[in-house]
Structure 1
Amino acid sequence: MAQPSPAAAVGTIEPATPPVDQPPPLSTAPQQLVAGLLGKADIRINGDRPWDMQLHDPAALERALAEGNLGLGEAYMAGAWDCDQLDGFFDRLLRAHLDREVHPARIAWHALQVRMFNRQSRTRAWQVGKAHYDLGNAFYEAMLDPLMAYSCGYWRNAGTLAAAQVAKLELICRKLGLQPGMRVLDIGCGWGSFMGYAAEHHGVQCIGVTVSKEQARYAQERYAGLPLEFRLQDYRELDEHALGGRVDRIVSVGMFEHVGHKNHRQYMEVAERCLGDDGLFLLHTIGKNERDSTPDRWIDKHIFPNGETPSIGQIGDAIDGLFIAEDVHNFGADYDRTLMAWHANFEAAWPRFAHDLGETFHRKWRYYLLSCAGAFRARELQLWQWVLSRNGVSGGYRRPE
């Protein structure tokens, strides 16, 4: 497996420096200001609780004040601070809405770029595949469940990550009312977890598209022999002709976060022209609480280039006149548990990847998984499954449980 070098993975971040036993005192006004803000979230600097910040370099606080989460995250990657329970740290920080009290000028510039430019154009859409999903199939096999589902599991009656992912896939199949012989389009098929499950357990045929070469290669090899077609293709290239006729069902799991608000309407138009008159479309996506909030700069730079979670209103705008919203199901709290399970797998497998990826990547990935777990725990992020129809379900839609 070819792995990127640590420098390629994190840009120009300096290597982590060894912590010192006694950090210098918080002598500057910016440092004292950040310490005061953290106190509002019941987070102490150099406290003895697992969610407290252990500060090795007070300059980390000035970076956080100047650059928000980008500065805070990069300082963590560089070893300037630690925390025994990052998920708890971010749960408290976000519940106290401290992110709303820090407004660096660079965040305003980032917000302007998001508003003015299409960061998810056809050309740029392939960047996230190369930067994130092509990291290496062996790496993701170690972190994910056996089916390689890289999205929120459904934990209602599940006790393990594997069971939660199977429950999620089965829930999707039941919500779509899959029947043997149906043709299904999977927009953003990943490593093929849904397509493989639906074909094996519900007898359907599927076409899936992804912008990740590694995902397409893995899925083609794993599911050879099943009536599945995996394409390395942008969703905007899809239409009735490209699919050999309209499909009976469409599913999109964890891909809409890469579409961007400037393309939401086009995405829905693509889905509408591909779906049969009596078809159903299930959209599974992370969601944000505020329409005008700006994508996190650290996540954008280091994890998901050009990513942008939608608000419930933005999805409503995008489907206006194209689809009827039959059902909206929020189980965002389940993402906290999913991310914690991924983190446990990642840490257990880390010795296998440490030499190739390095400690800075280790800290980056830990920060990614645990900060996101804290965000879902604080209910700053949601997970929605929308069931959409073109013409309305006769007699009304009934959600299966």
Structure 2
Amino acid sequence: MSSSPAPSPHAQPKYTSPRPAPAVPVLDTAPQQLVAGLLGKADIRVNGDRPWDMQLHDPAALERALAEGNLGLGEAYMAGAWDCEQLDVFFERLLRAHLDREVHPARIAWHALQVRMFNRQNRTRAWQVGKAHYDLGNDFYEAMLDPRMVYSCGYWKDATDLASAQEAKLELICRKLGLQPGMRVLDIGCGWGSFMGYAAERYGVQCIGVTVSTEQTRYAQQRYAGLPMEFRLQDYRELDGGSLGGRVDRIVSVGMFEHVGHKNHREYMEVAQRCLASDGLFLLHTIGKNERDATPDRWIDKHIFPNGETPSIGQIGDAIDGLFIAEDVHNFGADYDRTLMAWHANFEAAWPRFADRLDDAFQRKWRYYLLSCAGAFRVRELQLWQWVLSPEGVAGGYRRLS
């Protein structure tokens, strides 16, 4: 890989450490030298002068990375043990060189066993992500997201900024579902009501949304008061045709299936099937992984999305077997890179407003989250799928829209 690429369009603002510039650390242990050698395979230098190089303040960070994988690397970054001017490019290079496959800490094997053996997204634990992540503060997310508060991948095909990319995504969903005035729509994992608000305003539909976030429910009820929209603080497993006042015409779920977990995929699809009219359509918008047996990242699991688990394309196929016909699958995962970089720019610009409420470790955690994920989508380690599903098949076939 060339060491002198063209300037990256994804460059993040340079992070200036509050600490005095340290002396160049000496890598005097075998584990430290091993990690430095692995980074070299990705053309990442320790204390190099390029924007994607690691600026090491504490050599123990390398030992933590070797012992704990991304959990150790991420927590060392949160603690200020290392920095990088372009963290997204750091991860782009690291993942493109597949360095994550060369580090196999024993603790990752234990994490994988827990994921395989236990239902980490049961009815009790399902509420944890709402409190830990989505209830951080509506003002915080207003500062980071677009005006409609869409917290999922934008559609950048013809868009020039975050707001237009998110409206394009919402419009795409409405068109794929063939919305018509008077239809009843269920939104599983409705967030701050962005899709429901758009669909009610532009297409004249009635919507019911469920979320496990108290803050999202409160915000959406206030913002969309007066529109034919109902927001419920409710687990998706409680839904059925009776509780909805009859089966709905359409179902949409955007960025929620990542919180369901493989042990609940089938039940989730059974819930959707019992809520949807026989001639209805269901659009599932979800991040996806490339390998069925890939284990959820421990750092993301601990610090960002408790109990999260992205599905593989095969796992979704298993879950819909005999329940739905897959009419269409659309992958625009590369667009998540640009979405995450836009969120990061907004986050950094707004940070002074939140610095007194959220500490330096939070800022570094959030930066690591957004930019490491941008790098993963950039190298196509992660995907973004929109599935259009029907219970009995669309007569004459479904017409692809994109």
For Structure 1 versus Structure 2, the TM-score category normalised by the shorter chain is: over 0.9
Are 1:285 and 1:384, in contact at CA under 8 Å, matched by a contact in 2? yes
Aligned to 2:195: 194
Task: Tell me the SS of whatever aligns to 1:135.
Answer: coil
Alpha-carbon separation, structure 1, partners of 2:165 and 2:20: 39
TM-superposed deviation, 1:21: 2.5
The secondary structure found in structure 2 opposite 1:241 is: coil
Shift of 1:400: 1.9
CA contact (8 A) 1:23 1:58 kept: no
Q: CA deviation at 1:358?
A: 1.1
SS state of the match for residue 399, structure 2? coil
Amino acid at match of 2:314: G
CA contact (8 A) 1:17 1:79 kept: no
Map residues 342-357 of structure 1 onto 2, 5 A cutoff: 342-357=343-358
Corresponding residue for residue 240 of structure 2: 239
The amino acid that maps onto 1:180 is P
Match of 1:37 in 2: 38
Please report how far the alpha carbon of residue 18 of structure 1 lies from its aligned counterpart in structure 2 after TM superposition.
2.7
Task: State the Cα deviation string for residues 177-210 of structure 1 (Å, max 9, x = none).
Answer: 0000000000000000000000000000000000
Contact 1:17 1:80 (8 Å CA) reproduced: no
Note the 1:46-57 alignment, pairs <5 A. Answer: 46-57=47-58
Give the Cα separation in 2 of the matches to 1:43 and 1:283: 38
Alpha-carbon distance, 1:23 to partner: 3.0
Are residues 1:324 and 2:325 paired? yes
Match of 1:258 in 2: 259
1:26 equivalent to 2:23? Answer: no
Q: Which residue of 1 aligns with 2:4?
A: none
1:22: how far off? 1.6
What aligned pairs does 1:4-23 form with structure 2 within 5 A after superposition?
A: 18=19, 20-23=21-24
Residue matched to 2:226: 225
User: What's 1:144 paired with?
Assistant: 145
Which residue is equivalent to 2:116? 115
Q: Distance in 2 between matches of 1:172 and 1:313?
A: 23
**Aligned-partner SS, 2:354:** helix
Secondary structure class of the residue paired with 2:157: coil
Alignment of 1:1-400 (within 5 A): 18=19, 20-400=21-401
Q: 2:184 is aligned with what amino acid?
A: R
C-alpha change, 1:19 and 1:119, in structure 2 (3 Å) is: farther
Q: Write out per-residue CA displacement over residues 75-128 of structure 1, whole angstroms, 9 at most, x where no aligned residue.
A: 000000000000000011111111110000000000000000000000000000
CA 1:119–1:25: 2 relative to 1, 3 Å: same
Q: Following superposition, which runs of at least 4 residues in structure 1 exceed 4 angstroms of deviation? A: none
Q: C-alpha distance in 2, partners of 1:400/1:202? A: 17
TM-score (norm 1): 0.95
Q: Is the 8 A contact 1:188 1:252 kept in 2?
A: yes
Question: Would you say the 8 A contact 1:240–1:273 is kept in 2?
Answer: yes
CA shift for structure 1 position 399: 1.5
Secondary structure of residue in 2 paired with 1:93 = helix
Using a 3 Å threshold, how does the CA distance of structure 1 residues 195 and 384 change in structure 2: closer, same or farther? same
Higher helix share: 1
Tell me the SS of whatever aligns to 2:326: strand
Tell me the alpha carbon deviations over residues 273-328 of structure 1, each in whole angstroms, 9 at most, x when there is no partner: 00000000000000000000100000000000000000000000000000000000
Contact map agreement 2:330 2:386 (CA 8 A) in 1: yes
1:375, distance to aligned residue in structure 2 (A): 0.4
AA partner of residue 91 (structure 2)? F
Contact 1:183 1:204 in 2 (8 A): yes
Q: Deviations over 1:149-193 (max 9, x none)?
A: 000000000000000000000000000000000000000000000
Query: Which consecutive unaligned segments of at least 5 residues does structure 1 have?
Result: 1-15
TM-score with structure 2 setting the length: 0.95
CA contact (8 A) 2:123 2:235 kept: yes
**Contact 2:24–2:47, Cα closer than 8 Å, also in 1:** no
Q: Secondary structure at the match of 1:356?
A: coil
- Structure 2: distance between partners of 1:393 and 1:207: 24
CA contact (8 A) 1:179 1:204 kept: yes
